[in-house]
Amino acid sequence: MPSTSPNAFNARLSALVREIYPDLDTSILTSMIVDAFWPEGTKPRKRGRQPSNNLWTEQDALLITYGNSIIDGAHKPLDLLNDFLLRRMKGVVNGVHILPFFPFTSDDGFAVSDFRSVNPQLGDWADINRIGDAFHLMSDLVLNHVSSQGTWFNAYRQGQAPYDKFFFEASPDDDLSMVVRPRTTPLLQEIETTNGPRHVWCTFSHDQIDLDFRNPEVLCEFLRIIRLHVDNGVQIIRLDAVAFLWKEVGSPSVHLPQTHAIVQLMRMLCDYAPETIILLTETNVPKAENLSYFGNRDEAHAIYNFPLPPLILHAMMSGSANYLRQWQSGMPPAQLGCAYLNFTASHDGIGMRPVEGILPHSEQDKMIETVKDVGGLVSMRALPDGGEAPYEINTTFFEATKNTFNGADDYHFERFICSQTIVMSLEGIPAFYIHAMLATPNDLDQVERRGMNRGINRHNWDYPTLNALLDDPETIHARVLGRLTEYLKIRAKQPAFHPNATQFTMALSDEVFGIWRQSLDRHQSIFALHNVSAKDMQVALTQMNLIDDEDWVDLLTGETIDLSATHVSLAPYQCRWITNRH
Is 5 strand, coil or helix?
A: coil
Nearest to 118 by CA among 109, 244, 323: 109
User: What is the rounded average pLDDT of the residues 144-151?
Assistant: 97
**Residues 451, 340 share a domain:** yes
The more confidently predicted of residues 207 and 2 is 207
HEC letters along 521-544? CCCCEEEEEEECCCCCEEEEHHHC
Q: How far is 19 from 24, CA to CA, in rounded Å?
A: 10
**Residues 355, 447 share a domain:** yes
Q: How far is 100 from 108, CA to CA, in rounded Å?
A: 8
Q: Does the residue 326 lie in any domain?
A: yes
Report yes or no: 122 and 68 within 8 Å, Cβ to Cβ. Answer: yes
pLDDT tens-digit readout, 271-283: 999 999 999 999 9
CATH value at residue 567 = 2.60.40.1180
Residues tagged in the binding site annotation for substrate: 107, 145, 238-240, 347-348, 454
Q: Is the pLDDT of residue 582 over 80?
A: no
Q: Does the residue 299 lie in any domain?
A: no
pLDDT band at 80 (very low <50, low <70, confident <90, very high): very high
**Residues 487, 449 share a domain:** yes
Q: How far is 536 from 519, CA to CA, in rounded Å?
A: 30
CB atoms inside a 10 Å sphere around CB 384: 12
- Domain range for residue 465? 62-142+305-497
Q: Does the residue 296 lie in any domain?
A: no
**Residues 69, 122 share a domain:** yes
Nearest to 300 by CA among 273, 258, 260: 260
Q: Return the percentage of the chain with pLDDT > 90, whole number.
A: 91
Q: HSE (CB half, 13 Å, CA atoms) of 279?
A: 28
In this prediction, residue 1 carries a pLDDT of: 42
In this prediction, residue 3 carries a pLDDT of: 44
User: What is the rounded average pLDDT of the residues 542-557?
Assistant: 92
- Which of 10-14, 179-183, 238-242, 372-376 comes out lowest in average pLDDT? 179-183
| Alpha-carbon torsion, ordered 65, 67, 73, 76, to 10 deg | 140
**Residues 184, 101 share a domain:** no
User: What is the rounded average pLDDT of the residues 5-26?
Assistant: 93
**Residues 268, 242 share a domain:** yes
Q: What is the mean pLDDT of the chain?
A: 95
Catalytic annotation on 173? no
Domain tally, the chain: 4
- Which of 185-189, 284-288, 340-344 comes out lowest in average pLDDT? 284-288
User: What is the rounded average pLDDT of the residues 106-111?
Assistant: 95
CATH value at residue 412 = 3.20.20.80
**Residues 190, 332 share a domain:** no
**Residues 511, 390 share a domain:** no
In this prediction, residue 405 carries a pLDDT of: 98
pLDDT tens-digit readout, 403-456: 999 999 999 999 999 999 999 999 999 999 999 999 999 999 999 999 999 999
CA distances from 373 to 77, 309, 391, 394, 530 (A): 34, 19, 19, 12, 25
- With b meaning 16 or more CB within 10 Å and e meaning fewer, what string describes 359-374? beeebbebbbebbeeb
Partners of 237 in beta bridges: 139, 279
Report yes or no: 84 and 72 within 8 Å, Cβ to Cβ. Answer: no
**Residues 283, 329 share a domain:** no
Say if residue 297 is exposed, middle or buried (CB neighbours under 10 Å; 0-12, 13-18, 19+): middle
Measured at the alpha carbon of residue 369, what is the angle toward residues 575 and 351, in degrees to the nearest 5? 65
- With b meaning 16 or more CB within 10 Å and e meaning fewer, what string describes 405-444? eeeeeebbbbbbbbbbbbbbbbbbbbbbbbbbbbbbbbbe
| Beta strand segments in 14-166, E | 62-65, 70-71, 95-98, 136-142, 145-147
CB atoms inside a 10 Å sphere around CB 129: 14
Q: Does the residue 171 lie in any domain?
A: yes
The last residue of one of the domains, among 444, 471, 497, is 497
Q: How far is 160 from 194, CA to CA, in rounded Å?
A: 10
Q: How far is 142 from 104, CA to CA, in rounded Å?
A: 11
Report yes or no: 532 and 570 within 8 Å, Cβ to Cβ. Answer: no
The more confidently predicted of residues 581 and 114 is 114
Check 60, 240, 271, 443 and give the catalytic one.
240
Nearest to 128 by CA among 116, 141, 137, 140: 137
CB atoms inside a 10 Å sphere around CB 184: 12
User: What is the rounded average pLDDT of the residues 518-536?
Assistant: 97
The last residue of one of the domains, among 497, 526, 550, is 497
Q: How far is 566 from 254, CA to CA, in rounded Å?
A: 52
In this prediction, residue 6 carries a pLDDT of: 67
In this prediction, residue 5 carries a pLDDT of: 60
Give the type of residue at 105.
Answer: T
Q: Does the residue 400 lie in any domain?
A: yes
HEC letters along 72-84? CCCCCHHHHHHHH
Q: Return the percentage of the chain with pLDDT > 70, whole number.
A: 99
Q: Does the residue 516 lie in any domain?
A: yes
The last residue of one of the domains, among 237, 268, 291, is 291
Considering just the CA atoms, what is the radius of gyration of the chain in Å? 24
**Residues 134, 150 share a domain:** no
Report yes or no: 575 and 411 within 8 Å, Cβ to Cβ. Answer: no
| Beta strand segments in 305-387, E | 339-342, 350-351, 377-382
Q: How far is 8 from 15, CA to CA, in rounded Å?
A: 10
Q: How far is 541 from 536, CA to CA, in rounded Å?
A: 16
pLDDT tens-digit readout, 352-405: 989 989 999 999 999 999 999 999 999 988 777 888 888 899 999 999 999 999
Q: Does the residue 425 lie in any domain?
A: yes
Q: Is the pLDDT of residue 319 over 80?
A: yes
**Residues 485, 345 share a domain:** yes
Q: Does the residue 52 lie in any domain?
A: no
In this prediction, residue 2 carries a pLDDT of: 43
Which residues are within 8 A (CB) of 84 and not within 5 positions of it... i.e. 6 or more apart? 70, 463, 466
**Residues 354, 468 share a domain:** yes
In this prediction, residue 545 carries a pLDDT of: 85
